[in-house]
């Protein structure tokens, strides 16, 4: 077998001269030896995670400036009407989502289309009490603003080389905000997870 010279040729150079200078078996060995000596660098996550953390900090600061964590944490019990409003809020606020949902039912469950339309009409007809209307407005706005915060934490976790301790601190700050918004448990909003 031929020794690989110190200034070994590139794989392209090997390919160009392989049929002339080396038999097929030696050509394969030379290519393997080249890549052992010159490994292909893997795409690395950015080491500079500061801009992403700065963006997250800005989102969290804006969230706290726009939403009272105490008011959000005080929302614990939901009336039946309020539960329905939260369940259908996305399609009620965006006709595109409503039309998409209806088209999806038309394709996958045509028998349910009329039931769904009737349910949407019933939810639209709900008249919330002033207290429930306030709860809905407060929590719905916070839910919209909390999504990008959770997404940014996930982006930092997946796409950067942030040290585990720093990530844990950021996740703790994010969790505090998300817990203030709370999570559904039937007709109750729980504020711990």
pLDDT given for residue 133 in this prediction: 92
pLDDT digits (tens, 9 = 90+) for 80-94: 999 888 888 888 888
Q: Tokens for 147, please give them.
A: 């999504």
Residues 101 and 94: beta-carbon distance below 8 Å: no
Residue 35: CB partners within 8 Å, gap ≥ 6?
11
pLDDT given at position 17: 55
Spell out the domain ranges in the chain: 1-40, 48-78+129-193, 80-128
Instruction: Count each helix (H run) and each strand (E run) in the chain, helices first.
Output: 9, 2
Measure the CA–CA gap between 84 and 76, rounded to whole angstroms.
Answer: 15
Q: Where are the beta strands (DSSP E) in the chain?
A: 183-185, 188-190
pLDDT for 99 equals 86
- Identify the pLDDT of residue 40: 63
Cα-Cα-Cα-Cα dihedral sign, residues 69, 151, 168, 182: positive
**Stretches in the chain below the pLDDT threshold 50:** 1, 22
pTM: 0.68
Q: What is the pLDDT of residue 70?
A: 95
Note the pLDDT tens digit of each residue in 20-36.
Answer: 554 555 556 666 666 67
């Amino acid at each position: 077998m031929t020794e690989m010279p110190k200034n070994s040729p590139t794989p392209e150079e090997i390919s160009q001269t392989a049929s002339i200078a080396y038999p097929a078996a030696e050509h394969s060995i030379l290519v393997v030896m080249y890549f052992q000596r010159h490994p292909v660098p893997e795409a690395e996550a950015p080491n500079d995670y500061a801009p992403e953390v700065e963006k997250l900090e800005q989102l969290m600061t804006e969230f706290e400036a726009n939403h009272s964590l105490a008011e959000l944490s005080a929302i614990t019990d939901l009336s039946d009407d309020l539960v329905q409003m939260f369940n259908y809020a996305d399609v009620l606020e965006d006709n595109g989502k409503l039309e998409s949902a209806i088209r999806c039912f038309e394709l996958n469950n045509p028998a349910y289309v009329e039931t769904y339309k009737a349910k949407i009409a019933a939810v639209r007809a709900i008249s919330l009490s002033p207290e429930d209307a306030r709860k809905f407005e407060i929590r719905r706005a916070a839910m919209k603003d909390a999504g990008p915060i959770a997404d940014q934490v996930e982006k930092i976790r997946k796409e950067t080389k942030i040290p585990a301790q720093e990530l844990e601190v950021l996740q703790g700050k994010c969790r505090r905000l998300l817990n203030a918004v709370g999570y559904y448990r039937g007709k109750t909003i729980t504020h711990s997870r």
